[in-house]
Structures are given as C-alpha cells and as structure tokens.
Structure 1
Amino acid sequence: MAIDLVTRREWGARSPRGAYGRLTSTRGVKVHYTGGQVSPDIVNDHDKCVALVRSIQNHHMDGNGWMDVGYSMLVCPHRKVFEGRGPNRVPAANGSGLNSAHYAVLGLVGSSGLTQPNDDLLHGILDAVEYLRDKGGAGREIKGHRDGYSTSCPGEALYAWVRRGAPRPGGGGGPADPPPAFPGRTLAYPPLMSGEDVRTWQRRMRERGWNIDVDGLYGPGSREVCRTFQREKGLPVTGAVDRATWNAAWEAPVT
C-alpha cells in the first residue's frame, strides 16, 4: 500500500507527556477538519502545512492540556499523511467515550479560508484510512466527527464526501475491497465448524463493531452474534450464516 508518510521526527513533533492508551481494533475512522481558519496559501507551500500541523499539536497540548496531538493522522493538500498518535493508540479528538471506537484523521481544511478539500487531500485521507486498517486494525466505517457527537466537524464539504461513501477522486471507487462471494456452505453450530470462510465472516463482523473472536471457529459465541445480527437486520433468526446473512454482513448499513 502506497502512502506518503511524514513521520513525527520529520515534522518535528513534540514528545508526548504520558503513555498512550492501546488499541488493537476499531470500528473504523472518523474524519475531522480544523474548525478554524486555514490559509489557502498551504496549497502552494508545503512548509506551511508542516507549520500548521505543529501549531495544532501545540494547541492540543498547551491549550487543551492533552498529552499529545489528538489525531491519529493528519493529511494535507499535497497527499502527505502526517503521523499523529498513529495506529494502535487511542486518539483524543472524537469526544469523551468515543475515542476507542474510531481512529481520528484530520484533513487540513477549515471553517473559513481553505474550506474545500482538493483531490490530493481526499486521496490522502483514504491513504491514511488504509494505513490504519493495515497497521492498526481499523474497521470499515468511515464516519464524520459529527456522527455521534454534537459538532459541525468535519465541515459541510468533507462531510458531504463522507456521506457519499468517501469515494476515491477520479472514479476510483471507495477504499473498501469488493465483498467476498458466499462460500457455498452455511456456517452453523453445532457441530463446531472451522475454516477460512468462518474467519472471513468473523473478521467482517468485528469490523462492523461486533464483539466476536476472529479464530476461524464457528461455535456458540459466533452463533449468538449471528442471531443478534439477523434480528437487527430483519432476517430469519437461525443463528446460521446462510447466503442472505453473509451478504448482509457486507451490504447492510451499519447501525
């Protein structure tokens, strides 16, 4: 996976003032904007992007009293992805009680000045999302900060893009892989079933936010998650992953 990563050392990050909380998986990523004025000059001067990222960290540490910058990653209009807290670390920007469910990715646009994300910034956000999936166990959700928290963030332009499914600019589609085909057998218990198809379904349910072991073994725990999911989606409650339940795991809206 290609990503133009700017490490903390490269952008001159301050050292954190404490230990990070640890994350091994999340439901996905929440997208943010600065909420203030961003100079349009940063589009033509990457050094100003670096300075802005430093100022954001200073505000979070000195103004908010946080131990570090609150975001997992920060993205500029040159498709460069700045390492914030990074993968496997709890962010601080999503709101009280919400940080362990999603990583936080900031796009360097604001409520005034530079308000419209260019294509490189959108690509960079998706590069950051894929990086957090690969390195930090981020799930498939891409949400706006305002989803579940009372705020105008990430602004109208970025949020409209999120609501469209966060597509790649230029018709490249969203970052999600195509859903896998139904494996041809119904996953049920008893008896205990095992296999890569079980693991694939369990992983998908974990990505959707369910508390499920991804061990490739379809036992009572997987059956109970299946039953609850079927009930939520209006499917026959059998506890068995048939074709309709399998497809719903990828196609049904996440609630």
Structure 2
Amino acid sequence: MPIDLVTRREWGARQPRGSYTRISSTSGVKVHYTGGRVDPGIVDDHARCVALVRAIQNSHMDGNGWMDIGYSLVTCPHRKVFEGRGPGRLPAANGSGLNGGHYAVLGLVGSSGLVRPTDGLLHGILDAIEYLRERGGAGREIKGHRDGYATSCPGEPLYAWVRRGAPRPGGAPDPAEPGPPGPHPSFPGRTLKYPPVMKGEDVRTWQRQMRGRGWGIDADGLYGPASRDVARAFQQEKDLPVTGAVDRATWNAAWEEPVT
C-alpha cells in the first residue's frame, strides 16, 4: 500500500529556525525510539500520536536547541508516517558526526509503557524507509541508533526486529545490500564478517555464546559437524531456515534475549 504520510501542516509542526543542510543520499536509515514513557493509549487514539509528535518537536527545539525535530520521519502504531525533516535533509538525531550517514526514523515506542512495536508501527517504519529510498537516495542499510553510538535506543524489542533483518509482519526480511563488515554491538571494536559459514575467531565467539545459552558445544574455533547440528537445532527453535550455516539472522538470534 502507498505511504500514509501526515504532512507537517497536518500535524501542526512549528517552522524550523533556519535552513536545512541538504544531502543527496545516505547509506541507509537508523531506527529510533523515544527513550521515555509512551502512553499505551496511543494505540487506540491517533490524536495522542499527533500530540506526542508535537511534544517531541518542542523538546528538540526548546530543550536541545535544535532548529527542528531531529528525525527525518516518525511512525505510529496506526501505520501513519509523520513528516519530520524529510528526505534530502540532514537529520540531527543520530549523534554528532553520524547524521550524514543515515536518515533517522522514529517509531513511537518507548522504554516504558508501550515498548513493543505493533505490526502497524513496523509496517510504518518500512513504509518510511521505502519513501526515503525513493525520495532521498537512502541506501539499503537498516540499523539501530545504537549501532555506532552509545545508547539503548531503539530499545530491545525494536532492535531485535532490526537485527532480524527488519521483516515486514507476515512477510520476508528486506534484503540488505552487500557492504563492508561492520562492528557488532555486542563486541565494540570487533569486526564480524557474517559470511554464509563463519571463519576464524567469529566461530569461537559464536560457539561461546551458544554454550552460554545452554547448548552442548565446544568453543574450539572449528565449525564442524557438531556446530552444524547445534546451528540446525537452534534455527529450528527460532523458526529460521534450517541450513546449518550461521548467517546474519542466525548470528543475531544468538544474542537476542531468550524467551522465558
């Protein structure tokens, strides 16, 4: 379905205090949450979503001293996408020195209250990402705010979805564009390659993590039959394709909190 865009005029945005810095493209998008409490009542009352977006803009402009709301787009549980700074304009929410690399999309969930994204909100985030790709030259990367910046944002439930490949509810993950290796948030400063089957020290790192989760596996750094058997059983448990190869989705799932 086409994006359900709520323009700045429609949500009552204040005028920016200056001119935007123009950008023609980014590596992709970083996903954010509010960092505070979000009233669960917004799920049943879209007017509360509008009020919350206004409050966020006020906080950014009056509290942070920014020229405007810091996000490129904001999404709510009703699959509506609020126009923030918009495509082709430098956001402010990713952190100093990081805004030119990615657009910033906020999902209206928080650290308390409403913490788990609804299907409508996840669809909205992906609608926003497609819009930024089409209108703003956004690349294929979909990352969390914490990727490259010391923060808990976008919260564990939303970040777990990002690490699964940001799949549409009821659909397949959005394929990522191949790119250079990047740091994994669980291992600051370490580069992980995510090949179809791991090599080198990444194998031992994964084995240690799986052993810590209770799987019977030796951390010997050798990806042999025993490791493949554990990978297959783990993939089956997590409803992932059962291949026996530790791909990106399988690796990410190993660091998600177990369901108790």
Question: What TM-score do the two structures reach when normalised by structure 1?
Answer: 0.69
Aligned to 1:174: 173
Root-mean-square deviation (CA, aligned residues, Å) is 2.1
Q: Tell me: CA distance 1:49–1:233, structure 2 relative to 1, closer, same or farther (3 Å).
A: closer
Stretches of structure 1 lacking an aligned partner (at least 5 in a row): 178-203, 210-231, 235-250
Q: Is residue 2:107 matched to residue 1:107?
A: yes
Aligned to 2:41: 41
Deviations 1:129-171 (A, max 9, x none): 000000000000000000000000000000000000000001x
Deviations 1:2-43 (A, max 9, x none): 100000010000000011111111000000000000000000
* Partner amino acid, structure 2, of 1:15: Q
Shift of 1:173: 1.3
Aligned to 1:28: 28
* Secondary structure in 2 matching 1:139: strand
Aligned to 1:141: 141
* Secondary structure in 2 matching 1:146: coil
Aligned to 2:75: 75
CA contact (8 A) 1:74 1:84 kept: yes
CA contact (8 A) 1:6 1:81 kept: yes
Provide the C-alpha distance between the structure 2 equivalents of 1:99 and 1:233, rounded to a whole number of angstroms. 25
Provide the C-alpha distance between the structure 2 equivalents of 1:72 and 1:174, rounded to a whole number of angstroms. 23
Q: Percent sequence identity over matched residues?
A: 75
Instruction: Provide the aligned length of Structure 1 versus Structure 2.
Output: 186
CA contact (8 A) 2:165 2:175 kept: no
Shift of 1:175: 3.2
**1:200-219 equivalences in 2 (<5 Å):** 208=179
Stretches of structure 2 lacking an aligned partner (at least 5 in a row): 181-192, 196-246, 250-260
Shift of 1:252: 9.3
Q: Where do 4+ consecutive residues of structure 1 move more than 2 Å? A: 174-177
Aligned to 1:188: none
* Secondary structure in 1 matching 2:54: helix
CA contact (8 A) 1:130 1:175 kept: no
* Secondary structure in 2 matching 1:28: strand
CA contact (8 A) 1:75 1:124 kept: yes
* Secondary structure in 1 matching 2:138: coil
CA contact (8 A) 2:23 2:88 kept: yes
CA contact (8 A) 2:165 2:174 kept: no
Provide the C-alpha distance between the structure 2 equivalents of 1:167 and 1:41, rounded to a whole number of angstroms. 26
Q: Is residue 2:15 matched to residue 1:15?
A: yes
Shift of 1:122: 0.3
* Secondary structure in 2 matching 1:140: strand
CA contact (8 A) 1:71 1:84 kept: yes
Provide the C-alpha distance between the structure 2 equivalents of 1:82 and 1:18, rounded to a whole number of angstroms. 20
Shift of 1:96: 0.4
* Partner amino acid, structure 2, of 1:73: L
Q: Is residue 2:118 matched to residue 1:118?
A: yes
Deviations 1:84-112 (A, max 9, x none): 00000000000000000000000000000
Aligned to 1:165: 165
Provide the C-alpha distance between the structure 1 equivalents of 2:85 and 2:175, rounded to a whole number of angstroms. 23
Provide the C-alpha distance between the structure 2 equivalents of 1:252 and 1:53, rounded to a whole number of angstroms. 34
* Secondary structure in 2 matching 1:175: coil
